[in-house]
Structure 1
Amino acid sequence: MSETTPYRVQVTAVAEYVADQSRPQDEHFVFAYHITVLNTGEVRAQLLARHWVITDGNGKMQEVHGQGVVGEQPVLGPGQAFRYTSGCVLATPVGTMQGSYRMRADDGHEFEAEIPAFMLAVPKALH
């Protein structure tokens, strides 16, 4: 059964290890992540806020809440995408990120756009 709603946003993420900014000997692993936010719905919607759950390889969880992304609160019409790059630091060579974006449609309806979990991993850290 397909869900018919005018409010749909698809989020995809690609992460990469930033070796030249990391210091493994100090348990400092830097990752960049590239996000695409695509409005697959039928109405314009603005990204208002973000909520991230970042978990390192030891199971230590950190939650991040904030307005917008990279200093912006983009408005996306149907079929439009917004892309940005940001980063995070972990104390372990492997971790995960997931979360959601709070969106507001032109008609005032607010909804959550899920950010599916994605892996942060130093190359060859996972066999």
Structure 2
Amino acid sequence: MTAQHNQDHHIEVDVKTTYIPEQSDPDGSRYVFAYTITIRNVGRVPAKLLTRHWIINDSNGKVQEVRGEGVVGEQPYLKPGEGFQYTSGTMIETPVGTMQGSYQMRADDGVEFDAEIPAFMLSIPRVLH
């Protein structure tokens, strides 16, 4: 059963990423990125974000999997048309990587479904010499 195409249960996810040079240490293979996520309920039924699941890949092929309750300590409840925005961060060992995942949601009608987070790039800005 796919919830992505269900008019009742549909969450849109928008992502913006930023490289954080102050917290990064390229010589120590430490690259820190912030990501700001906007989650919007474009379905017909209110839904609550229960848990998150992330898959983070660096360009060395290292994979980190992160699971947890809610986001930034909250489990936002979104009525139709409502959104929730938060900023979090991650650290990888290479200048370029990707993140993708899903939020596990429970709608007011009792249906549980996943809101997919499409893969997005983590990459340091190009440096011109």
TM-score class normalised by the smaller sequence: over 0.9
AA aligned to 2:90 is C
1:39 maps to which residue? Answer: 41
Could you tell me which of 93, 96, 101 is aligned with 2:98? 96
Query: What TM-score do you get using the length of structure 2 for normalisation?
Result: 0.93
Q: Does 1:60 align with 2:47?
A: no
2:13 maps to which residue? Answer: 11
Runs of 4+ more than 4 Å apart = none
1:118 maps to which residue? Answer: 120
Contact 1:12 1:116 in 2 (8 A): no
Could you tell me which of 27, 30, 41 is aligned with 1:28? 30
Gaps of 5+ in 1: none
**Range 116-125 or range 49-58, more displaced:** 116-125
Question: Alpha-carbon deviation of 1:4?
Answer: 4.4
Query: What TM-score do you get using the length of structure 1 for normalisation?
Result: 0.94
SS in 2 for 1:7: coil
Contact 1:28 1:91 in 2 (8 A): yes
What percentage of residue pairs aligned between the two structures are identical?
Answer: 58
Deviations 1:44-100 (A, max 9, x none): 000000000000011111110000000000000000000000000010000000000
Q: CA RMSD in A?
A: 1.0
